[in-house]
Amino acid sequence: MKARRPKSETPPPVRILAAAKGEFADRGFTGSRVESIARRAGVNPALVLYYFKSKDALYTAMLREIFGELDRENLIVRLRDFRLKPPQRLYVAIYLVVRLFLKPRDPDYYRIVFHELADGGTHLKKMALEFIIPERREMVLQIIREGIETGDFRPCNPLLVVHGIFSYVTNLVLFSNLYNETALKELLNGGNAESVVLDHILQQVFIGLDPGRKNAPLPEMP
């Protein structure tokens, strides 16, 4: 009698997302098939559609995962359980923004983005406009407004502060290829790029929101 292979203890949705990442990295969205993803995950194609409804929905879920959206949502839920002051919450929010754009990625990430851009970037643009940027932007905006009301931050235009944060980080990433053979390119490719950029943005934002903080340390984290 043929021995049965032990069943994987990894939940099917997790296996399906991992398989989808490999499939989309190899073939892009257009060239990928639900049947092939199911084979990679070791499940029936019907189970893929049971959890994710369609290839499009699976692709969106996979994109959200590799961009850290699921982790972000869990972290925001956990943050609500802590009584953090606006400066502390702003520190965390800026970290999440920087982490989104600069965190180290596995090779599949870059292959998926390459395929996506080659296909016109429809899914990525939609996700960025609907989920990634608006949610983070609104999160930072609310914190700054609350900090102004509580007196932790000086009166200012919160929209301009938020615009400055996102513009700085996105420009670093989007135009990084223009910095070839420069010290900035070397910095962005370094292992501590995230911490260097985070520290710079934090210093500039907190000095702007509280000029008296110029020589003071950043708010302590819990």
Rounded CA-CA distance 221/192 in Å is 20
Rounded CA-CA distance 63/60 in Å is 5
pLDDT of residue 82: 60
Lowest mean per-residue pLDDT among 115-129, 175-189, 197-211: 175-189
Set out the domains of the chain in order of their start, with CATH numbers. Answer: 12-62 (1.10.10.60), 67-213 (1.10.357)
Assigned token pair, 164: 């400055």
Which tens digit of pLDDT belongs to each residue from 70-115? 455 555 555 555 678 888 888 888 887 787 777 666 778 778 878 8
pTM score, whole prediction: 0.61
pLDDT of residue 1: 43
Sorted by sequence, the CB contacts under 8 Å of residue 52 that are 6+ apart come out as 13, 16, 58, 61
Rounded CA-CA distance 142/140 in Å is 6
Residue with tokens 């608006």, as numbered in its chain: 134
Lowest mean per-residue pLDDT among 47-51, 126-130, 141-145, 212-216: 212-216
**Closest of 36, 37, 57, 42 to residue 11, by C-alpha:** 42
pLDDT of residue 210: 80
Q: DSSP letter string over 87-144? A: HHHHHHHHHHHHHHHHS---HHHHHHHHHHHHTTSHHHHHHIIIIIHHHHHHHHHHHH
pLDDT at residue 142 tops 60: yes
Lowest mean per-residue pLDDT among 33-42, 104-113, 143-152, 201-210: 104-113
Dihedral class, residue 84 (left if φ above 0, else alpha if ψ from -120 to 50, else beta): beta
Rounded CA-CA distance 115/122 in Å is 11
pLDDT of residue 4: 47
